[in-house]
Structure 1
Amino acid sequence: MPNNAESNVIAPLLNIMEKLRDPQTGCPWDKQQDFASIVPFTLEEAYEVADAIEQADFTALPDELGDLLFQVVFYCQLGKEQGMFDFADVVTRICNKLTRRHPHVFGEKVTEANALHTATSVKQTWDEIKQSERQQKQQLSLLDDIPQVLPALNRAIKIQKRVAKVGFDWPELGPVVAKVHEEIDEVLAEAQFLQAEPEIYQPKVLDEMGDLLFAVANMARHLGVDPEQALRQANQKFETRFKGVEQLAQQSGVAMQDHTLAELDQYWDQVKKQQRQ
C-alpha cells in the first residue's frame, strides 16, 4: 500500500472526483456517465500517453498521465457508488498481484542470487504464475481473458503470443513469410470477381483481408516489431510527406485536384529526397 505522503497526494483527486459526481452539486456531464460511457475516453487518453512518449514530448507527458489517472479514478468512484470497489481496493489488488508475480523480488527468501535472474527467466516465471491464476479462475481457454475491445492489431499479437507459449507457432521466419504470400494470393483470387459481383465477393474479400492482416501481424511479431506502433509511425510518415506534397502543389499555382497522378508522384519523390538529406 502507498505511504501516507503518497496517500495525501492522491486524496485531492479522489475528493475532486467525488464532488464531480455529487448528486446535488456535481457536474451534469460527469453525473450522467457510467462504466461503458467513459471507455472511449479511457482509450483516447491511453493513446495520448503513447503519442507523447513516441514524440518524446516529456513536457506534456505528466499532463497526459494525469488525464489517464483521472480515468482510473472515475471508474473507482463509480465502483464506490455501487458498493463494488474503491480506489484503495484497486491499489491493494495491483500491489498483491505485483508481489505475487515477482517472487524473485518479494519472496520470503530473497538473496543475492536474484542477480542471476534474466529478463527471460523472470518473464517465464510471470507467465507460469499467470497460467496458474487462469486455472484457479477455471478459464476454459488460454484466450479467454484477452479483451475483445483491444485494437485489432494488438489483440492479434496477444493471441499469437499466447498460443505460441504452448507450441502453436512456427519456430522460424520462413513459413511465416510464406503464409503472408499465401494470404495475398487468396485475397487477389477473390478480388478478381469483386467488381462483377460485389454482394457475393465483398464478404469474401473482407474475410481474406482479415487473414492477411493477421498473417502480417504474425510476421511483425516474429521480427520483434509492434505492428500497432509500426503502423502509427507509417501513418505519421505518410501524413508528413503528403503535407509536403500539398505545399509543393500550392507553390505551383495549380489546384491539387488538377494535377496528374504522375505530377503528384514527382512531388512525393521530391519530398522523400528532402527528408533523407
Structure 2
Amino acid sequence: MPPTDPAAALTRLLDIMVRLRAPDGCPWDRVQDFASIAPYTIEEAYEVADAIARGPDFPQLLDELGDLLFQVVYHAQMAAESGHFGFAQVAETIAAKMIRRHPHVFGEAAARDAVLQNAAWEVQKEAERAARAETGTLAGIPVGLPALTRALKISRRAARVGFDWPDANQVLDKLEEEAAELRAELPAMDKARQADELGDLFFVMVNLARKLDLDPEQCLAGANAKFERRFRAVEGRLATQGLAPADTGLAAMEAEWQAVKAAEKG
C-alpha cells in the first residue's frame, strides 16, 4: 500500500536529509553548499518537465517529483544549518504568498472582478517586489532562468509599460535588420561581435514569439523534436541502402531529408 499520510512521509524525508548532512553522514552530501546543489535543482526541474512531455509518464513523473522535492528539502536543510530558515518556513511562506495572491479565492468576493481583469496577481507581485526594495520595470527577474525564458519575461515587462512593437510584422522587419547586421559581421570573424549580433537576433525572435502568443521554449522544443524525428528517418533510409550519414555527402543527405519531409506532408 502506498503511504497515505503526507505529513509522516515528509517528516521521514526531512529526517533522512538531516542524517545525510550529519557529521557521520554521507561524505558527499556533507560538503555540498547552495552553489554546488543549484545545478542539480535546475536539472531535476527539467526532468520533471521531460516526464510530463512524455505523455505524461506517470511512474517517471512520480520519481522525478520526488527528486525535485528532495532538492527543496536539501536547500532548506542547509539554510537551517546556517540559522536562516527551515523547511517549515519555506512551506509557510509559499502558503501565505498563494493566499495573498488569490484574494478572489481566500479574500473578499469583491476581489473577484480584479482577478478577472488579470490584475490582482500582478498587483501583488509588484507589492512584493517593492517590499524587497526591487525597483524598476525589470526588477526581480531571476538571472538563473533559461535565456529564452528570461528574454520572454524581460520583453513582457517592457511591453507592459509600452516599450514594444505595434505588431508581429514590425518584429519580422526588425528580425531581418538584425540578420543583416549579423551577416555583415561574418567576414571579420570577430567572435565577440558575432555573439553580440546573434544575441540580438535571438532576443528579437523571442519578441516575435510573444507577439504571436507563443512560448519560445516550446517552439524550440518542437523544432528539436521535429529535427530529431526527421534525422532519424534519414538515417533509417540510408541504412536500407547499407549506408550511414558519415558515408554520404551533404547532397545525398539533403535529398533524403527532402524525401522525409515530403512523406510527412503526405
CA deviations 1:117-147 (Å, max 9, x no partner) are: 665x2x3211112112222222232223111
Change (3 A) 1:250 1:5: closer
- How far apart are the structure 2 equivalents of 1:135 and 1:250? 61
- Contact 2:44/2:64 (<8 A) preserved: yes
Q: Which residue of 1 aligns with 2:45?
A: 46
Aligned pair count?
262
Letter in 2 for 1:56: G
Instruction: Measure how far apart 1:274 and its partner are.
Output: 3.9
**Post-superposition offset of 1:246:** 1.7
Alignment-mate amino acid for residue 63 of structure 2: D
Q: 2:220 aligns with which of 231, 237, 241?
A: 231
**31-40 or 167-176: which moved more?**
167-176
Q: Does 1:222 align with 2:211?
A: yes
Q: In structure 1, the residue corresponding to 2:120 is in which secondary structure?
A: helix
Out of 172, 176, 195, the position equivalent to 2:171 is 176
1:265 equivalent in alignment to 2:254? yes
Read off the aligned partner of 2:122 and give its amino acid letter. D
Tell me the distance in 1 between the aligned counterparts of 2:62 and 2:244. 42
- 2:75 maps to what in 1? 75
1:30 partnered with 2:25: no
Q: Which amino acid aligns with 2:8?
A: N
Return the letter of the residue paired with 2:222. Answer: Q
Match of 1:142 among 114, 126, 137: 137
In 2, Cα distance between equivalents of 1:260 and 1:98: 57
TM alignment of 1:114-153, pairs within 5 A = 114=112, 119=116, 121=117, 123-153=118-148
Return 5+ residue gaps in structure 2 as ranges: none
- CA shift at 1:75, angstroms? 0.5
Equivalent residue for 1:155, pick from 150, 156, 159: 150
CA RMSD, Structure 1 to Structure 2 (Å) = 2.0
Counterparts of 1:239 and 1:98 in 2: how far apart (Å)? 40
2:168, 2:211 within 8 Å by CA — same for their partners in 1? yes
* SS of aligned partner of 2:161: coil
Are 2:104 and 2:115, in contact at CA under 8 Å, matched by a contact in 1?
Answer: no
Q: 1:243 aligns with which of 232, 235, 253?
A: 232
Report the identity percentage: 47
Q: Which digits, 9 at most, give the CA deviation of each residue in 1:34-60, with x for residues without a partner?
A: 111011111111111111112213322
In structure 2, how many angstroms separate the alpha carbons of the residues matched to 1:40 and 1:135? 29
Letter in 1 for 2:250: L
Alpha-carbon distance in 1 for matches of 2:262, 2:166 = 39
Separation (CA, whole Å) in 1 of partners of 2:97 and 2:238 = 56
CA distance in 1, matches of 2:241, 2:79: 59
> TM-score with structure 1 length normalisation?
0.88
- Residue 70 of structure 1 deviates from its aligned partner by 0.8
Tell me the TM-score normalized by structure 2.
Answer: 0.91
Consecutive unaligned residues of structure 1, counting only runs of 5 or more, are: none
2:182–2:198 CA contact under 8 A, matched in 1: yes
Partners in 2 of 1:12 and 1:142 — Cα distance? 43
SS at match of 1:145: coil
Deviation (angstroms), 1:5:
4.5
Query: 2:52 is matched by which residue type in structure 1?
Result: I
Deviates more, 1:87-96 or 1:123-132: 123-132
- Aligned partner (choices 184, 189, 214) of residue 189 of structure 1: 184
Aligned residue type for 1:247: G
Pair 1:165-2:160 in alignment: yes
Per-residue CA deviation, residues 169-223 of structure 1 (Å, 9 max, x unaligned), is: 22322221211111111111222x23xxx2xx32211111111100000000111
